[in-house]
Structure 1
Amino acid sequence: MEAIVFMLIGFVTGRVFPARYKTFNERVQLLCTLVLIFLMGVGLGQRDGFFSGLFNLGVKSFLFFLIPTVLSVAAVYLLTKCFMDGAGEKGRMDAGARRREARNSDPMVFMALGALILGIGCGAVPILAYLLSPLSTHAEWLLYFLMFSVGISVGLHRGIAAGIRQYHVKILLIPVGIIAGSLAGGILCGLLMDYPVNQAISIAGGLGWYSLAGVSISNLAGAEAGSIAFLSNLMREIGAFFMIPYISRHFNVSTCIAPAAATSEDTTLPMLMRYTNEETVVLSVFNGIICSAAVPVLISLCY
């Protein structure tokens, strides 16, 4: 919730922010995003049993990431294409210049992957993890600053409110598609791997919120299910960084929100900003709030 508050403050600031500093603000967002991904890697690298868990439960976790995510993308694409005309070809054309600029200016996907791998490596070295601990401990403030910067970018864009109003209740189609696709994917994973259906649904119901899903499901269903929940939802958050650019080129921009799920209101929001448009950013924040609120409910209903 704090991140949303900082974004709103940034939005108000953006209404009077000098437009000539727009590029500088976008570079700040890029730097903050890469640092946050790096710190995510540091946290993973120093996590007890991370590497052994990654290899031992990797296949199951990967399937629990891939199938629910793909079905979410399919569901959101079909719903938005059929019922949200403004999110279709028009949205794709509006984001075209931004995507070309992002592709030509820097290889963002590879930079994100490099930051993650570097962070994991540093986290696995105790002395480096110790030296980085002050920065890791206060990473939420960097996130707040990033959200403030994103809010400025949204505030600089005129006509967003009018664009959102045209959708009315249709903006619920995105979180509904994400949740429905994820739960359907969880059921399919359970059937394919002969896994208890209620546990499979709860794992997919994490919607990318790996910390909450891992802890909650560990307490409810045991360590193995909790580890799969943690790893698969972590893969979903990381995977969103690499899926968003591809989806933005081949589907409508609203579909870019689907792999991000609950993370679309914070950690993956800068990537959405970079490859879509300001109107989609507002939709992604709304979606993130709905999905985040749904995660504990979905998990608890499975047990």
Structure 2
Amino acid sequence: MDMWILLVFLGGGMAAGFFTADSSKLLKVSGYILHIGLLILIGIMGARIGADEEVISDIMRIGFQSFILALGGIIGSLIFLQLFSYYLRAAQTVRAEDESTHEDLVSQSSGSLLGLTAIILLTVVTGLVIGLVLPEGFLPWLENMTQYALAVLLLGVGIDLGSRHGVLAQLKTLGLRIVMIPLFVAVGSIIGTIITGNLLGFAAGEAGAVGAGFGWYSLSAVMLTEIYSVELGSLAFLTNIMREMMAIVSIPLIASALGPITAIAPCGATSMDVTLPLLKRSGGEAIVIPAFINGMILSALVPILVPFFISL
């Protein structure tokens, strides 16, 4: 499936979410789409990894490489965002009337953190086992399923992003400096992975594409598997999984040592959902809107930057 078609699904979802007067029902539908689409994609990804004998035989090497790439992406984003953070003091003031909205957002993501992680791990393992026993004739069918599931998932993502009218209004109020947070996280992540990827022997485009996943392991991994190779898709999947895990561990330390704004850096795209509760707990209410905007913008950049870097 052409990458432009996927972008059309993403843009169409954003338009539907933005122009729907009462988006509550639409958001509920998009939530189901996102959860089901995510599990389907992760399961298929696991099956395609399990069916690739070369990847399975070399899983330890890929695991080590993914750790180094994730570490490089985090360090790069930390350096860039810390250098820019003194310009972002205005972003740390959140209006009192918006706090109840932030509380709802945080409670939704914190309640399902451990359960979602367990389900994802179980789905990956199940997919791997299925892939190990599947005959070769099923692989083209899995590839087609990946394309259609990815398009549906991007439709759900677009609906979710477009429906956040309050966040878009806050983005306009807070100004350009808030928009610079995800841009510096993106630049730091990509440069960090390119540098560490070069040490591991990867081409700049390959490493940059992995880093451009920004922690969104399902989408970046599936895209790279589809347009490049199963091995690089597997590497992107593990790299972005590790980035999320490292972020969860390091957020409190970074917030204490470098400030709450800089604590957004390791989270990447997950700062709008999975890591948001920990960011709020470590950095206070003032960090919630900047963190959500960061995740929203980085999520929108993933389907654009991943194919861009892999084409270099």
Map 1:122-161 to 2 at 5 A: 122-127=130-135, 134=141, 136-161=143-168
Q: 1:284 aligns with which of 278, 298, 306?
A: 298
Change in CA separation of 1:149 and 1:183 when aligned onto 2, cut-off 3 Å: closer
Aligned residue identity for 1:78:
Q
2:18 is the counterpart of 1:4: no
Shift of 1:29: 1.8
Q: CA RMSD for the aligned pairs? A: 4.4
Q: TM-score, normalised by structure 2?
A: 0.66
Does 2:107 correspond to 1:103?
no
Question: Does 108-117 or 144-153 show the bigger shift?
Answer: 144-153
1:233 aligned to 2:236?
A: yes
Once residues 18 and 216 of structure 1 are traced to their aligned partners in structure 2, the CA distance between those partners, rounded to angstroms, is: 34
State how far apart, in whole Å, the 2-side matches of 1:111 and 1:89 are: 36
Comparing 158-167 with 26-35, greater Cα deviation is found at: 158-167
**Alignment partner, residue 286 of structure 2:** none
Which residue of 176, 179, 186 maps to 1:178?
A: 186
Q: Among residues 22, 36, 42, which one is paired with 2:41 in the alignment?
A: 36
In 1, Cα distance between the equivalents of 2:223 and 2:153?
22
Please give the residue correspondences for 1:1-303 in structure 2 after superposition, counting only pairs within 5 Å.
1-14=4-17, 15-20=20-25, 22-55=27-60, 57-58=61-62, 60-75=64-79, 77-78=81-82, 81-85=85-89, 88=92, 90=94, 95-105=102-112, 107-127=115-135, 134=141, 136-165=143-172, 166-168=174-176, 171-184=179-192, 186-187=194-195, 199=202, 204-206=207-209, 207=211, 208=213, 231-240=234-243, 242=245, 272-273=272-273, 276=276, 279-288=293-302, 291-292=305-306, 295-296=309-310, 300=312
* Structure 1 residues 169 and 85: alpha-carbon distance in aligned structure 2, compared to 1, 3 A threshold: closer
- CA distance in structure 1 between the partners assigned to 2:153 and 2:134 by the alignment: 28
Question: What percent identity do the matched residue pairs reach?
Answer: 14
CA contact (8 A) 1:69 1:181 kept: yes
CA contact (8 A) 1:76 1:174 kept: no
How many residue pairs were aligned? 275
Cα separation, 2, equivalents of 1:177 and 1:35: 29
CA distance in 1, matches of 2:138, 2:160: 33
Tell me, in whole angstroms, the C-alpha distance in 2 between the residues paired with 1:152 and 1:180.
Answer: 28
Stretches of structure 2 lacking an aligned partner (at least 5 in a row):
214-219, 277-288
Question: Does the 8 A contact of 2:67 with 2:239 survive in 1?
Answer: no
- C-alpha distance in 1 between matches for 2:44 and 2:261: 28
Paired with 1:294 and 1:201, the residues of 2 have a C-alpha distance of 12
CA contact (8 A) 2:6 2:154 kept: yes
Deviates more, 1:30-39 or 1:5-14: 5-14
